[in-house]
A and B are shown apart, each in its own frame.
Chain A
Amino acid sequence: MERASRANLVSGILLGLGVVAFVDETVFHQLLHWHHFYDRSTTGVGLVSDGLFHAFSWFATVAGLFGAARLLRDRAFHGRRFLGGLLAGAGFFQLYDGIVQHKLLGLHQIRYGVPLLGYDLAWNILAAGILVAGVLLVYTTRPRSRAAT
């Protein structure tokens, strides 16, 4: 049971990371054009971080989906635990993007030509909220200890 429980958690976290990166790319880069492909102030470290972020998020999306498919096939899918992992992964990644990549590395900003404080606050508070919700769900769906059975 514990192996299945961990597999649900890991698959959920991976898919969560992937979903955030996907929303970031489609909504903020392609549809709204708020984010920029490259910002002249981007540093070398920022470029490397961005490259790893995108490569890993593609991997995470595919790995999370195949992980879920495998759990469904083996009748070991646990929806609430998977969702908890998904929210925790999404919240964590959103927070990392909002604080480390946007602010510390200065990769690019959320939007250009507007006062940033409100956007940054909304972005990061939302991220923290999703992360907390995910962690709570993960906690409440933890496998019961062996002693209980």
Chain B
Amino acid sequence: MNHHHVGLVPDGTVQVLLPACALAGWLVAVRAARRRGRTWPATRTVSWSLGLACAGVAVAGPLAAAGHADFRAHMTGHLLLGMLAPLLVVSARPVTLALCALPARDARRLAEVLRSRPVAILTHPVVAAVLDVGGLWVVYRTGLYPAAHSPLVQAHVFLAGALFTASVVGRDPAPHRAALEVRAAVLVGVMAAHGILAKSLYAGPPTGVPAARAEAGAQVMYYGGAVVELALLVLLGVEWYRWTGRRTRHTPIRRVRARG
């Protein structure tokens, strides 16, 4: 069933090269932005690097190797690749960096792409959520699980995770950003679907996974997922808190009594 390619590149090479290239590209972009006189906080570079490291650990090295046989290791990798890495990468604001680093004409073109209809549809929280959680249901609940470690599925998990994270808590410029209430409601729905999927894996293991391993992995998914989701909720809360602060300057929640 599982064809291992013998020859040109050893297994896992692509999985190491991609994050390495992403980091190199980032550093080049930061230099370009600095040359244009834009300051770029080092914290974002740290966030980007940590995110790539999380993704790399999930797809190459000992954890990835253990994930083939051990469902708990697989789930740990899945949380890193599909939730924590996207959160760190999105928090680094890659689109903002691109806009700062590109020459003016290219930056304008990128801004046009961001305003376009396909991007508006793709980055809507509901669409992003379906791509993200829907993909998980397909992988774990339809007998596709043996393919879960293929680069294609891994790429989907990471990209869909990043798309969803950006659509809910992204700080990059997004002309079509959905209302805070919509983003919060979709996040609650995704949290519920994630928890339900975890418990359903506990009850019925995916294809080829022994029951005891599935139970342990399901709990990793349930509780580990909750930690990252809590971080997303707090980010939304901070955004709301700041928004009410700006609004209060104009219409305070408690009207000061002018006449005694």
Measured CB to CB, the residues of A under 8 A from B are: 1, 3-4, 7, 37-38, 40, 42, 47-48, 50-52, 54-56, 58-59, 62-63, 65-66, 69-71, 73-76
Find chain A residues with CB under 8 A from B1 CB: none
User: Hey, which chain B residues are within 8 Å of A74, CB to CB?
Assistant: 244, 248, 252-254
A59 and B253 form a contact (CB under 8 A): no
**Residue from B191, B237, B253, B255 with most neighbouring chain A CB atoms (10 Å):** B253
A54 and B230 CA atoms in complex are apart in Å by: 12
Q: CB-defined interface of B205-227 with A at 8 Å, one 1/0 digit per residue? A: 00000000000000100100010
Query: Do B254 and A1 touch across chains, with their CB atoms under 8 A apart?
Result: yes
Contact of A38 among B202, B233, B234 (CB under 8 A): B202
Contact B233 A58 (CB under 8 A): yes
Interface-central residue, A52, A59, A69, A73, by most chain B CB under 10 Å:
A59
Partner of B237 from the list A3, A50, A54, A66 (CB cut-off 8 Å) is A66
Distance from A146 Cβ to chain B, minimum over Cβ atoms (Å)? 13
The 9 closest A-B pairs by CB, nearest first: A55-B191, A51-B196, A55-B192, A66-B237, A51-B192, A76-B254, A62-B233, A51-B195, A52-B192
Q: Are B184 and A59 in contact (CB under 8 A)?
A: yes
Residues in chain B near residue A75, CB distance under 8 A: 254
Chain B, interface size category, equals 20 to 34
Contact of B199 among A47, A62, A65 (CB under 8 A): A47
Shortest beta-carbon distance from B208 to chain A in Å? 21
* Of the residues A47, A50, A51, A70, contact of B241 by C-beta under 8 Å: A70
| Interface assignment of B122: CB less than 8 Å from any CB of chain A | no
**If the complex has contacts A37-B202, A66-B237, are A54 and B192 also in contact, measured as CB distance less than 8 A?**
yes
B245 at the interface (CB under 8 A from A): yes
Contact B229 A58 (CB under 8 A): yes
CA distance A58 to B42 in the complex (A): 32
Determine whether the beta carbon of B199 is less than 8 Å from that of A38: yes
Instruction: Name 27 A/B residue pairs within 8 A (Cβ), A-sorted.
Output: A3-B253, A4-B253, A37-B219, A37-B222, A40-B203, A42-B199, A42-B203, A47-B199, A47-B200, A47-B203, A50-B199, A51-B193, A51-B199, A52-B188, A55-B189, A55-B191, A55-B229, A59-B187, A59-B188, A62-B233, A63-B233, A66-B238, A69-B241, A70-B244, A73-B241, A73-B245, A74-B254
Report the Cα distance A70→B219, complex, angstroms.
35
Asked whether A7 lies within 8 Å of B253 as measured between CB atoms, the reply is yes
* Complex contacts, B192 vs chain A, CB 8 Å: 48, 51-52, 54-56
* CB–CB B195/A54 < 8 A: yes
With contact pairs A58-B226, A74-B252, A76-B253 given, residues A37 and B233 touching in the complex (Cβ less than 8 Å):
no
Contact A65 to B237, CB < 8 A, known contacts A51-B199, A55-B195: yes
- A3 proximity list for chain B (CB < 8 A): 253
Measured between alpha carbons, how far is A48 from B226 in the docked complex, in Å?
16
Is B40 interfacial (CB-CB < 8 Å)? Answer: no
